[in-house]
Amino acid sequence: MYGVINKSLRDMVTEGHGDAVWDQVLAKAGVPSDSFLAMRSYDDEITFRLAVAASDALGIDVDTALNAFGQHWVNHTLVRDYDALVRSTGSTMLEFLENLNELHDLISTTFLDYEPPEFRVSELENDRMEVQYISHREGLNSFVSGLLVALSERFNEPMSIEAVENLSPESGTHTKFHLLMKG
């Protein structure tokens, strides 16, 4: 995955736990150096190894670490580096998610050799929303849960994940997230 993703994971660990813990993560993951270039694509395996090593170093399970990383991506990386782009993508959770594929498409001119996921969103009755996540990758559902919860807070429409339904495609991931508006 792109260096921006690995860098964001590093920021989450160093901001919360310091540089020494990140050095442990690199050592555990067997990743020699963290001079990730933001705008270069790296093997997905590196991101997965870093996420597993980070969860190990922080004493939490991988899904908890991926969920925290999803929240960090929205609350820190997007706010810091992509605020204008995010703002122009939508002003409500629904509008933003409806335009998210377009956002990922739009940046494919700068991120070459890049394989973003696909999202399909529908509004259901009773303050519920269904978000389908489709990717050729596997193992990122908890990252997406963290992203969705943090986004809902960002739009001042706090939601919780009510159910996660794995549709088990032959390869990759196709998951339905059921979101419930809080309060």
50 binds ligand HEM (CB under 6 A): no
Q: Which of 5, 31 has the CB closer to ligand HEM?
A: 5
- Bridge partners of 128, per DSSP, are 124, 180
Task: Decide if 131 contacts 120 (C-beta within 8 A).
Answer: yes
Q: Any contact of residue 90 with ligand HEM (CB under 6 A)?
A: no
Q: Which residues of 115-142 are buried (b: 16+ CB within 10 A; e: fewer)?
A: eebebebeeeeeeebbbebebeeeebbb
Residue 21 vs 180, nearer CB to ligand HEM: 180
Within positions 128 to 167, which residues make up the interface with ligand HEM, using CB under 6 A? 135, 137, 140, 143-144, 147, 151
Nearer to ligand HEM (CB atom), residue 104 or residue 178: 104
CA atoms of 62 and 50, how far apart (whole Å): 10
- Tally of CB atoms within 10 A around 84: 8
Task: Using the minimum distance from each CB to ligand HEM, give the nearer residue, 50 or 78.
Answer: 78
Contact between 78 and ligand HEM per CB under 6 A: yes
85 within 8 A of 103, measured Cβ to Cβ: yes
Q: Which of these ranges, 26-34, 50-58, 77-85, 154-162, lies near ligand HEM under the rule CB under 6 A?
A: 77-85
With CB under 6 A as the contact rule, the residue among 21, 86, 94, 164 that binds ligand HEM is 86
Task: Between 20 and 166, name the residue whose CB sits nearer to ligand HEM.
Answer: 166
Backbone angles phi, psi at 161, to 5 degrees: -85, 115
Q: Are 162 and 128 in contact (CB under 8 A)?
A: yes
Interface positions with ligand HEM (CB under 6 A): 1-2, 4-5, 41, 78, 82, 85-86, 100, 103-104, 107, 111, 114-117, 135, 137, 140, 143-144, 147, 151
